[in-house]
Structures are given as structure tokens and as C-alpha cells.
Structure 1
Amino acid sequence: MGTLSGHAPLLNRQRERAELDGLLGDVRSGRGRALVLRGEAGVGKSALLRHTTGQATDMRVVRAVGAESEMELAFASLHLLVSPLLDRIEKLPDPQRDALAVAFGLRQGTAPDRFLVGLAVLTLLAEAAEERALLCVIDDAQWLDQASAQVLAFVARRLLAEPVGLIFAAREPGRHFHGLGDLEVRGLPEQEAQTLLRSVVRFPLDERIRDRILAETNGNPLALLELPRGLGPAQLAGGFGLVEAQAVPARVEEGFRRRLAALPAGTRSLMLVAAAEPTGDAALIWRAAGHLGVPASAVEPAQADGLLEIGTWARFRHPLVRSAVYSAASPPERRAAHGALATAIDPASDPDRRAWHRAHATLEPDESVAGELERLAGRAQARGGIAAAAAFLRRATELTPDPAGRGARALAAAQAAFEAGAPDMALELLGSAEMSPLTELQGGRAARLRAQIVFARKRGGEALRPLLDAAGRLSRVDAAQAREAYVDAVASAVFAGRLGEPGLLRTVAETARTAPAGPLPERPIDALLDGLVARFAEGYAAAAPQLKRALQAFRQEARRDPDDSMRRLGLTYLVAADMWDDQALHDLAEHAVQAAREIGALHFLPQALTYRATVHIYAGHFDAAATLVEESDAILKVTGHAHFGFASNVLLSWRGGAEAPATFDAAVERTVTWGEGRAISGGHFGSALVYNARGRYQDALARAERACEHDDLGLTGFALLELVEAAAYSNAPEAATTALRRLEERTTAAGTDWALGVLARSKALLTDGQAADLLYREAIEHLQRSRAAAYLARTHLVYGEWLRRANRRLDAREHLRTAHEMLQGFGAQGFADRARRELLATGETVRKRTPGTSGGLTPQEGQIARLARKGLSNPEIGAQLFLSPRTVEYHLSKVFSKLGITSRNQLAEALPDQGDDGA
């Protein structure tokens, strides 16, 4: 084969080459694009990358290669890719510059969110591309460390108006790259495969053997090139040298091993050092080789055989060569290579990598090495590498000689692994911790963590008993942690809902009542626990004062300690909804989104966006809600976190689509499999709302009754509203009266304008004459003082319907017209059509308008336009929405065109008011 520069020419590949050439054309024209080349090892992805870079001589090209041994070192591959561009780091906005510098270990600082790092990389690439179009090539993307993969996928999804191209080559792309442009690279067609095989097998080949090779390699170019090497004519002619059918990569790797065995010992040692240090730093590799006594001439046989090339960087012919080199070495040989690398690394400039190699060079337990790993785990985590911290702590656990110390480190490693999204590793480490002598506090923490892992996997009640057991253990040694565990247990019971045993919530509340007193001064979470205990043990009215106090404490805490309040937002939001506290809902969600945007916390932002979207829905800002739902979904595709479907389901309900009930039923079936009974109530509530909007009151009544069968925190009150309306219009007085009695208990105790407004509305539906008229007016007065414009519009609707039946047509038209205009403007099409039918019945002509008068703007265009209307610059908008300034400019040009304006100053008048920017 010769040297690495002597690659075989591409055969066929017209389809793949056309796609890649099209990407280069887009980049040259100023349009950013990303593409994933997907295919098995050796199928030709690297050859296609070489072809593409060869065609990109007019562009700047930067490269990175994923390395399996680097997968636990945060940002390792990303650093390799962008290091040639870091001379521009000072041009970045301060928060982005600082995040990138901390992530790459260029300076000390608190852990940056990896998607603030992503925004910094996006800005850096866009800045570099201002001078010359930029092509980024990432090979072996299946081995990118998680942080690098998330950041690069984030950047790939935001390329639009930047002359930047990203090409990823991977055997099987990870979840981070799902949804990107995808090009599968398959094996060569038979004719081209035969041509390639003949290029390396120069002697006559038995047709049966030839056909077997072609069939088993399935057209894989590397397998066709490498499989026959090392086998003589006799072996090939009769097939004696061929192994039984097996995966191509394994056979190809075995071929590389045979070639390695023929190399001198010094050459194999040099190659092993290069394989163990995947950064490819040639100077480091030579220093380490020197410590092993390997001469510089040792590289010559490897280069002559086309396996390794060392210039400024060390490069293997193929990743499987690296794999073959490392796996073929004995454990002592590997430890020697890692030890030489540790010795060669400057501990001041790269302590993380030095500690990693030192740990892999150590066989017996060694407290000095374990201690260094533990200390550097904190440094790795401070740089944003939770997965790296988990890996460091795990190895530190293995090297800890003292059993008690080993248990403590295993517990810390398990916690880090859980936070890094590796529950299986966390459970393995927990098992190790529990085999060690733990203190009572450590044992309680271990029990709680095990239960939290169960709850994270299945949000139903399966985690309840373990959480209660952990809380009981912690009660004896740490009151604060015990109370937090009890809150987790209540949350588990809340999500289990009707799928839990009868009286479950009350039982859990009574158990949690035994929790020890919390620390002083009282923490918000302690007030929350006391309020939830009262809510489920004593009832809504008894708990209302305590839950209001807890909400106020969390609203204040959100300003002092946003991280802590964010972690509890899911539960506090449900409490605020349960209390009909529209101001608390608004404040908690708005602060959470603002805080997440400011610090770039994309791990939390999707959840915050979901809750903020729901607040928008209640306010009638459906377009703004849809924008946030879209943004949340886009981020979740990058992060791979669980989907937050609540806001999208509520929005679908209010928009009144006929398909909504079937959609909800299908979603319920999925969630029930993991024990989330609360989703059942949510599905029935959403269906009841849709049926009420469409005037199918009997169907709405049946669904609402099912939704109200279980007391679900933050949900049952809304379902009772639908039940009262459906029963009133279905002539079901007993069901209506019973539901009204339950609703009145809640709304009276809540006492907000929203609560009192929906109570007066519900009473009016069941009342006649002057009393009904007064109740409707009272409801409108209360709701006008609230943020619940959607419920205000529905109140105008039912009041107008009542007035029409009372033959007060002029008064009816006023309220029905108001309802129709509001609901049509919101995009609540089902309710708007109901109002339109009622208006027609009064004799009024109604023009049916298209909902959402936003000039045809997409949700993202609308969001950018609203931020621009507030006076934010393009860089400021980009920082909030994680876009490059150039992409913001591109979207604004489309906004101006659609709205028929020419400047930002005209946005205030031209842009319909759909609430704020969604922050």
C-alpha cells in the first residue's frame, strides 16, 4: 500500500460525491450546512472526507478525530477542532469567551454550561468564516466525548447564514446527531468491488474464494484492501487463511494485527504509545517513546507499511489500526506506554491528561494516584465535564486501598455518573459503595440516589418505597437531606397518580409528617414539604396558607439562589397552578427562563420554556407559546433529554384540533407503561377541553368526569371547570352541582382573581335570572384583573350564549363579538367557531379570519422580531436564542420583507402584540 498519501482512488461514489460537492457549493454561496456520513468501519467514509477536503482548496479546513479512549474527557475533540481558530477568542463576547476558556482549561472559573460553550463555538466559526469559507471535518464522530458531541450538534443545527460547513463521519451517529442531514455510505457495487480486490490480489483467485470474499466483505473497501494482506497465494487459493464469516471490522482488525506482528518490537512500542495518546501530539509521543528507549528510526517500518505517519501530528491509517495496536498489546505493555506518557506530560499545563495516563499505568491500589484523580475530578467538573468527573472518580475508587475511602469515592462517582446521564454506571458504582463500610449518612445518601435513579427512569410510583426508606434512614443523621428525600417521595406519588394504590398520597403525606424539623432559618423546600403534607393529609383549604407561603419563599429564593429554585420548579409550578396563582406562575417561569438564558443553561432551559409557554397559553399568547415549545423541542434534540409534552398538549387542546383526543389517548398509553398515572388525567382533561370547544358536551362530560376521578396536583381544578361547563350544557345538574362544590372549596381558599373569576363563571352557568347576570359580570371583573385572558374570553362566550337564550340579542352580540375577536386572535379556533355560530344566531354577519395575524412569520422569526422591537442588538438576540448574529440578521431581513417594512423602528407598529419575547 505504501505511505498514507498513497490512497486508492475512489471507485463509483457518484451519489456521495455529488452530495458532498453540493454542501461545498452551499458553503461557498454563504449558506451553512451540516451532513453526517454514516456507515460501517472501512466502508469509505474517510476516503470521501479526503475527496471533499481536496475539493475545498479555496476554503479553510479544520479537522478533528474522535478517540474512544478520550470519550470521558470533556471537550477533548472540540478542542482539537477549534484550536487553530483560538487566536480569535478575544473577539468573542465576554460570557462566551470566558465559557470557552474555562472549558478548554485556559483559565480557572465556574463550570460553564456546555451550550454557552456551543454559542461561543458558533460565534468563533462564524468569525473565522468572515475571512474565508470554513469547512469542519470530524471523523469517527461515534467516539466524540459527550460534551463535544452536544456542542457540535448544537452548532450544526444553527448553521444558516454563515459560510461554514460541518461534516461528521460515524459508524453509527449518536443521538445528538439525529435529525441532521444524513448520507449513508454503503459498500461498493459488485463490479467496483471486484476491481478493488484485483488491485491487491495480483495472482489468479479461485472463483469460489473470490465470491466468498466479495460476499463477506459486502463491498467494504477497507476490508477488500486489507483482508488478503498477509495471506499467501496458497492460503487464498484454497481459502485456508480465511476465517469463518464474521463482522468486517473484527476481521479487518485481525488483519492489522497480523501485520503488526511482523514489525520490530521498537516500532510496536512506538505505535502503542501513539495509540494510547489519541491527541496525536507528535512531540509528546516522541518524549514518551524516549522514556521507553525507542529510537526515532522505529517509525520507519510503520510508515513503510502505511500504518502510521508522524509529522507535526501522529496519524494512523485507520482507526482500526489504533484499536488493533492497543488491543494486541499485553496489559503490562499498555501500562508501560501510559506510564511513559504520564512522565512526558507537563503536570502544570495538562494535569488532567497526566493523571489519566498515570492512573492507567497503575496496577495496584495507590492512594497518591487515587487522591490526585479525586482532586482533578473536581477540576474536570468545574470545566463542565461531569462525565469526565465520573470517570476520574470511578478510577479513583478502583485505586483506593482503604475500604472506607473506597466506599466514599464510589458514592461520589455514582452521584457524578447519575448527573452525567449514565444510570447504569451509577448503579454499578452504588453496588461497589454498598459493599464498603459506609457511615449511616453515606448509606442514606446511597439509598436516596438509588431511588432517584429509579424515579428518573420511570416517573411513576416505583421509586416511592425506596425514597421513603432513604428518607427514614437520613432522618437519623441529616434532617435537611431527609426532608429533601421526603419531597422527592411526594413528587413520586404525585406523578404515580391514579396508578398508585388507593389513598397513596395521604399515606405518603402522613409518613412525611414524621420528618425531623428542618434547619433554621427555614428553607423554601421545608415550607414546601409542610404545605404538601397538609395538602394531601388535611385537604386543600387547610393547606392553602402554607402553600402560599412556600410559593412566596420560592419566588424570593429564585433571586438569591436560582439553581436551587430551578431544581424544584416542576413541583412549585404545579403548586402555583393548584392555587390558581397566576402571578406566581408568571414570576417563577419568567425568572427561570431569564436565568437559564443568562447563564446559558440549556440543560434546564427546555423545562423552563415549557412552563413559560403554558403561562403564555393562559394569557392568550398562543404564537409566543408555540415559539417556546418549538425552541424547547429543538434544544431537546441536541441534549437528548426527556420530552416535556405538557405545554404542547395544552396548546393543542386550546387550538381545538379534532385530532387532539386521539393524540392524547396515544400519549397516555405510552406514559402508562412507566407508571405515570397523572398523564391519564391530563389526557382526559385535554380531550374535555377540546370537546367543550367544539360543542360536544356529552363527550366533554364523560372525559371531564374521568379526569376528576383522582386529585391531581395542579390539574384537577382545571378539569373541574370543564366538568361544570359540560354538565351545565348537557343538562346533568347533579354532576354539575357536585363539581361546583369541589371547585368552590378550592377557589375560595385560593382567593386570587383568577380563582374567584372562574368560580363566579361556574356558578353563573348553573344559575338563572338576575343572579346569573351578576355572577357573569363579577367573573369578568375578576378575570380582567388576572393574567388569564383565555379564560376571560371563554367567560365572555358563555355570558353571550346566556344573553342570547334570554333574548337579549344586542347585549349578547357585544360579549360574543368580544369573545370571537379574542379567541380568533389567540388562535383558539374551536372556541372561536363556537362564538361565531352564536353570533350568526343573533343575526350578525361575521367575517371568518385566519388565526394568528403575524404577517406569516415563523415562530422563530416572530421571536426575533419581538426581541428586536424591544431594542436588542443582533448579538444580544443571538446570545438569548443561541444563534449567530449573522443568522439573526438573515431572519430579520425576512421579517422586514413579510411585514412590508424597512427598519427596526417600524416593528412596534407592524408587529402584532403577542406578549413579550417569551423570556
Structure 2
Amino acid sequence: MRDPELVGRGAELAALDGALAAARTGHSRVLVVRGEAGIGKTALLEHVAAHAAGFRVARTAGVESERELPYAGLHQLCVPFLDRLEHLPVPQRRALGTAFGLTVGEPPAEFLVGLAVLTLLAGVAEDRPLVCLVDDAQWLDRVSAQTLAFVARRLLAEPIALVVAVREPAEQLDLAGLPELTVRGLGEAAAGALLDSVLKGPLDVRVRDRIVAETRGNPLALVELPRFWTAAEQADGLFRPDGDALADRLERCFHRQLAPLPPDTRRLLLIAAAEPLGDATLLWRAAGELGLGADPAAAAAATGLIEFGPRVRFRHPLVRSAVYRFASAPERQEVHRVLAAVTDPALDPDRRAWHRARATVAPDESVATELECSAGRAQARGGLVATAALLEQAATLTPDPALRARRELAAARAKRGAGALEAALGLLGAADAGPPDPARDAEAGRLRGQIAFDQRRGRDAAELLVRAAGSLDGVEARETYLEALGAAMWAESGVAEAARAAPAARVPPTAVDLVLDALATRLTDGYAAAAPRMTAAVDAVRALAVEEENTAHVLWLLGNRAGGTLATELLDYAAGRELAERQVRLARDTGALVQLQFALNFLANHELLAGDLTAAQAFVEEDRLLAEATGGRPIGYSAILLAALRGRDAAAEIATAAAAATERGQGRVVRWAGYAQAVLANGLGDHETARDAAHRVFAHDTVGHQALATAELAEAASRTGDGDLVTAALDRMSERARATPTAWTRALEARLRALAGFTPAECYAESIALLAGTPLRVELARAHLLFGEWLRREGRRVDAREHLRTAHVMTSEMGLEAFADRARRELLATGETARKRSAGTTEELTPQEFQIARLAREGLSNPEIGTRLFLSPRTVEWHLRKVFGKLAISSRRQLREAVFDVAGT
């Protein structure tokens, strides 16, 4: 017989049955079932479980009181499959084992845990189709909800059906964009039939219609509410517009059913409601502690609202909440006290601490200490939201004001790590109310500055961090000054003030000391004075060993945002590329996705300078995919320069990026966009626009960007007749070449000397010779182009053709379309025809297909590609089949010779 709550649910059942049918054929299906309390979501999940013949069924459900325990919901879903943990790749195995408290290790990145769950479930489904059912998702702990959303977006070619039920209205669960099934009230006929089936006697048709209308066809309301109606209530329809939510009415209805039960039965039900795991062993232990016998269970089961077995299950979540909500505070505290007493502190210390906290009203240091220990374990498992909640609760129960303020500061730090910036600031305000403590105040000031930077308030961040650094000592002070300088440079505001505030390096200096000292000197005393210090700082950062203990945070602090900036400022391509590659490896190994986005852009810029636009495009796409995975936005640095070099309608893209950066106060990005605009305009031959864009960057002392813009300024100004600007650019580059004579710097100085009219033939030849021994193919091609253009203007057509042909071939092969067209036009002016080159037939792939094809061509296996792109191996194989079809090939060997590009580029 069909469940009463499934009356009139033909369309919903068809959608769910369709999801099962698709999964049986190897096509994943995800369905988010939304609806109000009592609408029948749980009944629909039960239907899926009952009709999943041939499937393995895994289930989990959110419990409101468990939202502070990290990975509680996810663990419940995965626990039947943990015997397969050893089959996961090592980084995934470590991440998931640490998240579930099975092993001890560094806090895992949430997305590495997500990838591990995806791989685990995909492996289970290889043997037999799998259906995963998630009920009451609105009550899942945050990391479980985020992980399931991550997995749901990556299910494609696995025999898996994932059905998630979530109550509306609910907090945002990051489920946007997933297929949805909205469950609404029953239609009038179905609702009336269901109501008739539970009524004890006849009902006036007008009253019946009013009840159907006021319940909005909610099946649980139609079934449960009539059970205790009086004749008078039936006569007037019961439902009075008192403003109460339907869920509250249902809870009261369940309470009315439970109220007549004996006191011991209600106490037993309260134990079950307060123990979220449904652990029957704990239930009976607690019942024994309270002196309850077996009889209360029989009376409770007779109501049909609860089932006792290996697991204790309430008929509906509203039954659990009704039991708990309508108990008095002393009754709830007694039950939690008993549950804490029967919970093994060695096997489940966190749940024991959780019960003790709920049994405690007055401040109690022993309970606060247990919560603080639980917070430490939560942080070790990567649950920053839970860490913050537990520390905040520990602070509330801390009797000592000074210690309470310390715990509030720690909770604020965890809130910031979890992205809850306003909540973190609120906790910092609470910590400020504690007894005077200069050390704590300095730490709080640093955290405020870090939060300001997170909020893209660069100038505010710099001021706060400088102030905090002045009150800190040793390593913390130096790191805070470096953070302040980085914030000021990002905003291009308050840079000089932050630089002057930085103290001199200690003896012997650390890498942090050297980088801080180099940047401060560069910004206060200029390039020449800082050059030896910048060189020493870059060498020190390169010498840091990734494997050394406690160096990870230093590597992030000094990576592409500090050491990399200095390498670019020195025009040291080899050092910059080495740092970029190391940062990418480190970010991949640790699952630090936001840091990976920055590192990918840094590495992509080096690929662009080397002329490998395809590799750079891959990194740009990965930045975009990572932003999509994390819910953030792409860093986008490299995308701007890539568009400029390609010369394909890039002006609008660059202008949009600059406008957005201006609005967010990101002056450094604005300067980068100006440099990219100059590159684009020089390629197109629009030298006035290039001159103006490059001069805006040149006029600002932007570390790293200014050196790149100087060459663009000289080239453009030489074409517009602005000799003074050419001279100014040459003076700037000559200063750099004298202080740091790298091959790149010397080559650019020789080029600028030629542009300024100093023995151009010799200077252009010198520039080409210097660049020929470097990976800087774009610079080399442009040097040939400039030399060829000068030779043509001098009337030396035969000599010009040699360099213009080289420039045309190189720029065409690299995909620098604007520069290639410029070289072609110059060749035509010498009397030689140059056709536009084509790389061959190019089949456009989707961004994901492009990424997979590139990695497969590099020799990565399907599991390795899946790890890189957060996909299951089976989904990678599915995409590869589509790639092979589009490229008309049949093997990875043929893929190595194929030419392909991303759609829309």
C-alpha cells in the first residue's frame, strides 16, 4: 500500500524513478528535493530506497543539534565504505582519514576531502550502482554540506544517484545550480481524499475545503492534525490565522500526542531526541542511569512515533524537535548530563564535551577546557566553522575574564579562516572587553588588519597591520610588517608609510627579514639601493626547503606575492619561474585552492613570456574552474595579458577588468591592466593608446609591473615622436641594467637604446643575441620585428626581410595575432608577400575538455587528471571519448599531434 504522503505525487515519483533509471545505465543523476516541513520529502526518499533494486543504498541525515560537529553528516554517509579507504590516492586517503578522525595529520583542505569522497563513492559504484540519500540537509554541519555540494557538481559518468532533501525556507547550502525537484502541497482533490481517509466522522464540505486551503495541501498536516480535533474544532476548521508557522503547529500536534504518556516514557523519548546518532546502546545506558526500565519503550513505540532497534528512529524530524522543544530546560540538562556520563571519553570525546556543554548553565572551566580540546580536534580535521563555534561556546562557559577573552580571540581567528568575517569582528569586539592585555590586543589588531585585507580594504589593512606590528615582537612582528606592506602594495595606497615603518633586518636575517628589508628599501630608496637586497631576498626564498617543518606558512607569505614580485622586479625569469612552479606544486599537494589560483596566474605569466599561449590558456582555465569550485572569482591576471597578446577583441575585456579593480580598490590590478592595454595597442599599431596606457603605469612606482611597462612605453613613444618619454624610459632601464645586469634587463636596455637612436643596428643585434639564449620567445620575436621595421625605414629592404620573416613566423606560431599581422604588413611594405599562417585545423573544445586533453597529452593517467581537476576517473574517461570524437582521433598517441583550442577564445 502506498504511503499516504505519496498520494498525488505522480510527477515527483516519476522524476525520482528517472534518476534511478539513469544511474542504472551509468549516468549520474543529482536531485535536490525542496519543500516545507511535512510536505513529504522524507517519504519520497523512502520511496527511492524501496525501489533501488540492485543498488547499494547509503544514507545520512542532518540533525539540528549536530551542526557544530565537523564532518558528522558526511561520516554517516561514508562509514559503510571506509574499508575502501586504502584504495584512494595517498593525499586523498590522508585528507579523508584526518577529516574523520581516523588518522592524525595536517588539517586537510575541504576540497581535497571532497575529491576523496568523490573517488570513494565512484569506486563503490564501479562494483554496483549506488544511491545516496540525504535528508534534512539544512541541518548538516557546514563542511559536510559543502563537500556534498562539491561532489554533486562533479558526478557525471558514474552509476550514482544522489538525492538531497532540504527544508524550505533554509539557509543557503551552496546547492544553487543543481537539478531541483520542488515539492508543493497536494492538489485540492488529492488533499481532500487524504483528509477524508483520516477523519473519524463526516465533515461539512465548506470546513473541509477551508482546512485543505489553510494547510496548503501539506500531507503531514492533513494526516496528523485531525488526530486530536474536538468536535468544535472540526465544526469551525481548527486553523485560525494566528501567524504560527505550519512546522510549529505540527510540533504542537505531536506534543499533544506525547503529553498523555507516562513521565518515564517521556524521559526516554527525550534521551532519544537529545542523542543525535540514534545509538541504541547509548540510549539504554542513559536509561539505566536514570533508573528507567523496559516498559517506557513499549509505551513510546505504541504511539508509532518512534522505532527502537539497533538504531533509534523517529517517524519524522518534527517528532524529535517536538520532544526536545517542549521539555523543560532542567529536563534537557539532566538528559545531556546523563548522556555525557555514558559517552566514552576515549572513543568519542567531542560528543561527550558537546553533551556536557548542554548540561551546563553557569560558567565551568572543566567543560570549557573540554570544548577547547574539541575545537583543537575539529581544527585538525579541517572544520574551521566547528572550531569557531566550539571556541565561542568555550568562551561563554569560561569563568576567568582574561582566559575568556583569549578564547574569543581564538574563535575570531577561526571565524576568519572559515570566511565569516563579520562574525569574526564581533568576537574581536567581545575580546576587547576583557582585562587589559597588550599582547592580546596586538594579536587582535593583526587579525583586524588581515580581515580588512580579506575585505579588499587595502589601505585600512595596511594601517591596522602596521599599528599591530609595532606592538608585536620577533617573527610575528616581521611577518605582520610584510603583510602590511603587501596590503599597501595591493591597494597602491599607503605604500611609503608602510615601507618606512618596517624595522631593519635582524642578524642573522631570515628569509622573511630579507624580503621585508628588500621591499621596504625598494619603496623608500629606489631600485639601485635595493638591488643587492632584492637579489639576496630572492635567493633566500629559492633556498627555502618545502620539506622543512613549519615553513609552509612562510612559503605562502613569501611565494608568488612577495618573492615572485621581487623576481619580476629584477627581470629574473629563471628565478620567477622556479618560484611559480614550486608554489603550484605546494598548493596542489596541500589542496590550498585559493593559493593555487594565485600561483597558477604567476606561472601562466611565465608561459606567456615564453610564448606558450596554449599552456597559459590551460592555467587560465584552471583558475576559472577553481573559482567555480570554491565559489570565489578568478584571479584573472593572466587572462588579461593572454587576451592582449592574442589581440582578439581584448580591449573591452581589459577595460572591464580595470573598472572592476578600481571599484574594489585594487590598484595593483589596475596597473597590470594598463600594462596589458599597452601590449595590445602596440601589437595593433595603435601607439598613442599604448603610450598613454604604459605611461600611467610608468608614472606609478609599482613594483614588478613598472619594469614591464617601461619597454612598452619606449616602443610606443618612439612611434609617436615623444622623444622625452623614450629617454625617460631608457634612463629607467639603464639604471636597472647597471644594478642587476640579467640577460633580460640588458636585452631591454639595448632595445631601448636602439629606439632612442643610439647606434640602432648594433643595439638591436645585441638585444637579439642576448634574448636568443633565454626562454623569452615573445621578447625575441618583438626584437626581430623592431629591428626589421627600423631596417625597412632605413631603406635596407633585403636585410629587413630576414628579421621580419623571423618575426612573422615566430609570432604566428605563438598565436600573437596582432603582432603577426604587424609583421606581415611590414613584409608587404618591403615588397614580399606573407600569407597569414594557420596552425592547422583546430577543433574547439569546452574548457573542461581542453584541460583534460592537455593533461592527457602530457602523459597523466585518468586518476591523475581526475585529481588535478576534481573529477572521478570515469568522468575523465567520458570526457576523453568526447575529445577523441571532436578531434577525429582514437588514441592518446594521436592526441600528442592534434591541434585544439578552447571554445570562445
Q: TM-score, normalised by structure 1?
A: 0.89
- Compared CA separation, residues 234 and 758, structure 1 to 2 (3 A): farther
Match in the other structure for 2:619: 628
Contact 2:186–2:219 under 8 Å retained in 1: yes
Are 2:77 and 1:77 aligned?
A: no
Structure-1 separation of matches of 2:748 and 2:841: 28
**Counterpart mapping for 1:882-893 below 5 A:** 882-893=870-881
Contact 2:845–2:900 under 8 Å retained in 1: no
Structure-1 separation of matches of 2:361 and 2:602: 51
Are 2:607 and 1:607 aligned?
A: no
In the alignment, which of 502, 514, 518 is matched to residue 531 of structure 1?
518
- Compared CA separation, residues 802 and 883, structure 1 to 2 (3 A): same
Are 2:82 and 1:86 aligned?
A: yes
Are 2:809 and 1:797 aligned?
A: no
Q: Give the Å deviation of 1:747.
A: 5.1
Match in the other structure for 1:9: 6
Structure-1 separation of matches of 2:534 and 2:841: 40
Structure-1 separation of matches of 2:14 and 2:60: 23
In the alignment, which of 488, 501, 522 is matched to residue 493 of structure 1?
488
Q: Per-residue displacement from partner, 1:732-756 (whole Å, max 9, x unpaired)?
A: 3334433443344345534322233
Match in the other structure for 2:648: 657
- Compared CA separation, residues 804 and 83, structure 1 to 2 (3 A): same
- Compared CA separation, residues 873 and 672, structure 1 to 2 (3 A): closer
Percent identity of equivalent pairs: 50
Contact 2:505–2:517 under 8 Å retained in 1: no
- Compared CA separation, residues 375 and 812, structure 1 to 2 (3 A): same
Contact 1:624–1:863 under 8 Å retained in 2: no
Per mean C-alpha deviation after superposition, the further-off stretch among 348-357 and 649-658 is: 649-658
SS at 2:544 equivalent: helix
Are 2:710 and 1:699 aligned?
A: no
Q: Give the Å deviation of 1:817.
A: 3.6
Match in the other structure for 2:708: 718
In the alignment, which of 531, 543, 561 is matched to residue 544 of structure 1?
531
Structure-1 separation of matches of 2:224 and 2:754: 83
**Which of 1 and 2 has higher RCO (CA within 8 Å, sep 6+)?**
1
- Compared CA separation, residues 299 and 715, structure 1 to 2 (3 A): farther
In the alignment, which of 160, 166, 184 is matched to residue 164 of structure 1?
160
SS at 2:59 equivalent: strand
Contact 1:352–1:376 under 8 Å retained in 2: yes
SS at 1:35 equivalent: strand
Per mean C-alpha deviation after superposition, the further-off stretch among 733-742 and 579-588 is: 733-742
Match in the other structure for 1:359: 357
Q: Give the Å deviation of 1:623.
A: 2.2
Structure-2 separation of matches of 1:341 and 1:760: 79
Are 2:480 and 1:479 aligned?
A: no
Q: Per-residue displacement from partner, 1:623-671 (whole Å, max 9, x unpaired)?
A: 222222322332333333454222222323323232x433344444444
Q: State the one-letter code of the partner of 2:750.
A: A
- Compared CA separation, residues 690 and 439, structure 1 to 2 (3 A): same
SS at 2:307 equivalent: strand
Are 2:457 and 1:436 aligned?
A: no
- Compared CA separation, residues 246 and 795, structure 1 to 2 (3 A): farther
**Counterpart mapping for 1:29-40 below 5 A:** 29-40=25-36
Per mean C-alpha deviation after superposition, the further-off stretch among 36-45 and 118-127 is: 36-45
Per mean C-alpha deviation after superposition, the further-off stretch among 241-250 and 395-404 is: 241-250
- Compared CA separation, residues 881 and 438, structure 1 to 2 (3 A): farther
Contact 1:203–1:233 under 8 Å retained in 2: no
Structure-2 separation of matches of 1:616 and 1:215: 65
Are 2:775 and 1:806 aligned?
A: no
Match in the other structure for 1:737: 727
Structure-2 separation of matches of 1:807 and 1:39: 79
Q: Per-residue displacement from partner, 1:848-907 (whole Å, max 9, x unpaired)?
A: 455697765555555545555555444444444443333344444455555666555566
Are 2:44 and 1:48 aligned?
A: yes
- Compared CA separation, residues 227 and 662, structure 1 to 2 (3 A): farther
Structure-2 separation of matches of 1:742 and 1:215: 79
Aligned length: 895
SS at 2:104 equivalent: coil
Structure-1 separation of matches of 2:807 and 2:214: 70
Are 2:573 and 1:577 aligned?
A: no
Match in the other structure for 1:469: 467
Per mean C-alpha deviation after superposition, the further-off stretch among 59-68 and 854-863 is: 854-863
Q: State the one-letter code of the partner of 2:530.
A: A
Match in the other structure for 1:118: 114
Q: State the one-letter code of the partner of 1:136.
A: C
**Counterpart mapping for 1:822-833 below 5 A:** 822-833=810-821
Match in the other structure for 1:417: 415
CA RMSD of aligned residues (A): 3.3
Per mean C-alpha deviation after superposition, the further-off stretch among 529-538 and 357-366 is: 357-366
Structure-2 separation of matches of 1:912 and 1:605: 27
Structure-1 separation of matches of 2:491 and 2:877: 47
Contact 2:138–2:173 under 8 Å retained in 1: no
SS at 1:568 equivalent: helix
Q: Give the Å deviation of 1:810.
A: 4.2
Per mean C-alpha deviation after superposition, the further-off stretch among 521-530 and 89-98 is: 89-98
**Counterpart mapping for 1:271-286 below 5 A:** 271-286=269-284
Contact 2:469–2:480 under 8 Å retained in 1: yes
Structure-2 separation of matches of 1:800 and 1:402: 78
Q: State the one-letter code of the partner of 1:797.
A: L
- Compared CA separation, residues 773 and 138, structure 1 to 2 (3 A): farther
Contact 1:627–1:860 under 8 Å retained in 2: no
Q: State the one-letter code of the partner of 1:721.
A: A
Match in the other structure for 2:579: 588
Consecutive unaligned residues of structure 2, counting only runs of 5 or more, are none
SS at 1:130 equivalent: helix
Structure-1 separation of matches of 2:246 and 2:495: 56
Structure-1 separation of matches of 2:227 and 2:405: 50
Match in the other structure for 2:747: 757
**Counterpart mapping for 1:497-536 below 5 A:** 497=492, 500=493, 504-512=494-502, 515=503, 518=506, 521-536=508-523
SS at 1:74 equivalent: coil
Contact 2:733–2:748 under 8 Å retained in 1: no
SS at 2:240 equivalent: coil
Per mean C-alpha deviation after superposition, the further-off stretch among 483-492 and 718-727 is: 718-727
Consecutive unaligned residues of structure 1, counting only runs of 5 or more, are 915-919
Structure-2 separation of matches of 1:246 and 1:803: 86
Per mean C-alpha deviation after superposition, the further-off stretch among 78-87 and 63-72 is: 63-72
Q: Per-residue displacement from partner, 1:753-773 (whole Å, max 9, x unpaired)?
A: 2233333333433438xx223
Match in the other structure for 1:155: 151
Per mean C-alpha deviation after superposition, the further-off stretch among 167-176 and 641-650 is: 167-176
Match in the other structure for 2:103: 107
Per mean C-alpha deviation after superposition, the further-off stretch among 29-38 and 581-590 is: 29-38
Q: Per-residue displacement from partner, 1:519-543 (whole Å, max 9, x unpaired)?
A: x542211111111111111112211
- Compared CA separation, residues 642 and 370, structure 1 to 2 (3 A): farther
Contact 1:407–1:438 under 8 Å retained in 2: no
Structure-2 separation of matches of 1:814 and 1:859: 38
In the alignment, which of 141, 144, 151 is matched to residue 140 of structure 2?
144
Q: Per-residue displacement from partner, 1:49-78 (whole Å, max 9, x unpaired)?
A: 333333322211111112232223221111
SS at 1:787 equivalent: coil
Per mean C-alpha deviation after superposition, the further-off stretch among 871-880 and 196-205 is: 196-205
Match in the other structure for 2:673: 683
Q: State the one-letter code of the partner of 2:274.
A: A
Contact 1:460–1:677 under 8 Å retained in 2: no
SS at 1:473 equivalent: coil
Contact 1:610–1:632 under 8 Å retained in 2: yes
Q: Give the Å deviation of 1:809.
A: 3.9
Q: State the one-letter code of the partner of 2:580.
A: A
In the alignment, which of 240, 243, 260 is matched to residue 241 of structure 2?
243
SS at 2:163 equivalent: strand
SS at 1:52 equivalent: helix
- Compared CA separation, residues 249 and 844, structure 1 to 2 (3 A): farther
SS at 1:490 equivalent: helix
Structure-2 separation of matches of 1:810 and 1:39: 78
Q: Give the Å deviation of 1:124.
A: 1.8
Contact 1:358–1:369 under 8 Å retained in 2: yes
Q: TM-score, normalised by structure 2?
A: 0.90
Per mean C-alpha deviation after superposition, the further-off stretch among 608-617 and 222-231 is: 222-231
